[in-house]
Amino acid sequence: MARRNKASQQCARIRIIKQRGNACEKCGYPGYVELHHIIQAIDGGKFDNNNLLLLCEKCHADAHGNIKRKYMDKYRLGWESR
């Protein structure tokens, strides 16, 4: 499966926020939300509305087995386990 570029991901995120609102679909947190694939793209999951959720950063990390994205600096030095 072709890797989606950042621009197409952002377009999908905006489209889904317009449809569903700007809140986490798991906990209801009103604020910044990230796209989450229910079935991961690497496993054949599609990049469409039925396979995407809007999740806050915490719920998104929980959905991926408690792996937390580490926003360390402009160089994005990697991932860190909780």
Q: What is the pLDDT of residues 17-42, one digit of tens each?
A: 999 999 999 999 999 999 998 888 78
What is the domain range of residue 62? Answer: 6-81
In a domain, 28, yes or no: yes
In a domain, 12, yes or no: yes
Count of domains forming the chain? 1
In a domain, 52, yes or no: yes
For residue 11, what are the CA distances in angstroms to 5, 17, 20, 31?
A: 10, 10, 14, 18
In a domain, 14, yes or no: yes
12 has a pLDDT exceeding 80: yes
Return d(Cα 17, Cα 60) in angstroms, integer: 16
Structure tokens at 43: 């496993």
Return d(Cα 16, Cα 25) in angstroms, integer: 11
Q: What is the CATH number of the domain that holds 44?
A: 1.10.30
pLDDT above 70 as % of the chain:
73
60 has a pLDDT exceeding 80: yes
Place 70 in a pLDDT band, splitting at 50, 70 and 90.
Answer: very low
77 has a pLDDT exceeding 70: no
In a domain, 1, yes or no: no
Give the pLDDT score at 42.
82
